[in-house]
Amino acid sequence: MKTKTKVILIGVLLAVIIVPASIFGVKHYQPKENDFTGIKLPSAPAKTPVKNVNTDVLNDEKKWTTNFTHDGAIIKTDGWYYVFSTDYMVGAPPTPGIQIRKSKDLIHWNFVGRVFEQVSQEAWDWTHGTTFWAPNVIQMNGKYYLYYSVSEVGKRNSYIGLATSDKIEGPWKDQGAVIKSKEGDGNTVNAIDPDITIDKSGQPWMVYGSYFGGIFITKVDKNTGKLVNPNDQGTLLAQRKDMNAGIEGPEIIYNKKTGYYYLTVSYDWLEDTYNVRVARSKNITGPFLDYNHKDMIDPGDDSFNTGNKILAAYSFGKDPGWLGTGHNGLLQDGENYYLIHNARTGEDKYWSHLHVRKMVWTDDGWPVVSPERYAGETEQRVIESNLIGEWQQIVLNRFDDAMEGSTKPQLLANGEIKNGKRKSQWKLTGKNTLQLSIYDPGVAPKDYWNFTVKVIPAWDWENWRGTLVFTGMNQEGTVIWGKKIINK
């Protein structure tokens, strides 16, 4: 056989062997977009998708679960999680009394009942209010202390009262006023929205206030549960310009690992633009500063840009989404932290639900929350192949409190982000830490928004399946959320 013929035959033979092998190899080793290798995804929180608007439960409290929860406060005791919340109902006037719900897992909630059937004579005489607002509950001295609000809508004629009980589900005994406010009393605080926080030395404090003069903190007598000085409104912690710039629903939690106290407040209107902001301080009495070192006492025109916005009205894809995402509660449960809040469905903003979200911490000690409601997930190690594919992404704009919609970036196997702009990159830098460099020439500092986010498993409530999400901040303290889309 001629040499030239041999070469041709060998070439053909190699092509027959190598080309299919190469094709097979590419197909075999190419990362899958739905790869969850090594990830334990949460189970479905219910047998079928939960209805956000369900008129069938209106008159059956046993089926309320998360429905009609507003201004919730959370406590864990005796192996149960309890949420106490404002009188609230849609379609009919609420039955007076602070609502109580309980859960074993923060996912499945049972309606327990109410505290009281009507406001006290003292609270009525002071405010002419007929319902209870924004309770808070804490365990001290071997019993439970329940703080509640009664107020005249739109005025500072307000009343914070105290009830006590030996059992978390009652019966409760009213102990009278803790602090009261009145139009023309010489103070600025509005006496509602109490939260009791115990500092690192064991001293209890009450942080409170809504609209009007801002958020204040004052010392609590640990033996009585009443204020050490009931005639002093306390120390101002946070303030906005006026009634058109709402601020309310304060909570404080201490993180021993970071050494900071974290103050959360809700901005704007409870039916739609409600959003949660956070700042921190080494001292419980402040000053509380945000990521950009701005003091939460900001009565200027720029107060809309104060505080890290970690939760806001949002919609993933074509889902109606959620409005009024505010008035949060905070819970530390061992090493885990959670944020609860009320949220109103985009289908009908008068239907309010209890949402529970896992809170995670950035590497520089800031709390951020999952973009999806809690379903039992834990932080886990992720690998690059888990992340490749299409995502839905939401940026929580600090300057605009309208509902945020999502975009659809794609994380490519070569480390690029396909988002309509070249040069955007992603990189996994830790156990579950992801760096996103979003190219935005002429707008971002040095043309890039650099987000550092935590990746965690989650339940995709909109599409009813397990997935991965991310949450974190950029170099200016703006929060970004992401959710991986599962292709069928």
Q: What is the DSSP string of 286-333?
A: ---B-TT--BSB--STTGGG-SEEEE--B--TTS--EEEEEEEEEEEE
Order of strands across the sheet that contains 215-219 = 195-198, 204-208, 215-219, 235-238
Catalytic residues: 71, 248
Mean pLDDT along residues 296-308: 90
User: pLDDT tens digit string along 196-250?
Assistant: 999 999 999 999 999 888 999 999 999 999 999 999 999 999 999 887 889 999 9
Q: The domain 62-369: what is its CATH number?
A: 2.115.10.20
Q: The domain 384-484: what is its CATH number?
A: 2.40.128.10
- Give yes or no for residue 368 having a pLDDT over 90: yes
Q: Where in the chain is the domain with CATH 2.115.10.20?
A: 62-369
pLDDT in the model for residue 34: 84
pLDDT averaged over the chain?
Answer: 92
User: pLDDT tens digit string along 111-157?
Assistant: 999 999 999 999 999 999 999 999 999 999 999 999 999 999 989 99
Q: Where in the chain is the domain with CATH 2.40.128.10?
A: 384-484
3-class DSSP state of 56 = helix
- Give yes or no for residue 26 having a pLDDT over 70: no
- Give yes or no for residue 16 having a pLDDT over 50: no
pTM over 0.95: no
Confidence of residue 28 (pLDDT cuts 50, 70, 90): very low
User: pLDDT tens digit string along 176-197?
Assistant: 999 999 999 999 999 999 999 9
Kindly give, in sequence order, each residue whose CB lies less than 8 Å from that of residue 321, ignoring residues fewer than 6 positions away.
313, 314, 315, 346, 403, 405
3-class DSSP state of 124 = helix
Residue type present at position 333? D
Confidence of residue 304 (pLDDT cuts 50, 70, 90): confident
Q: How far is CA 235 from CA 107, 134, 146, 255, in A?
A: 37, 21, 22, 22
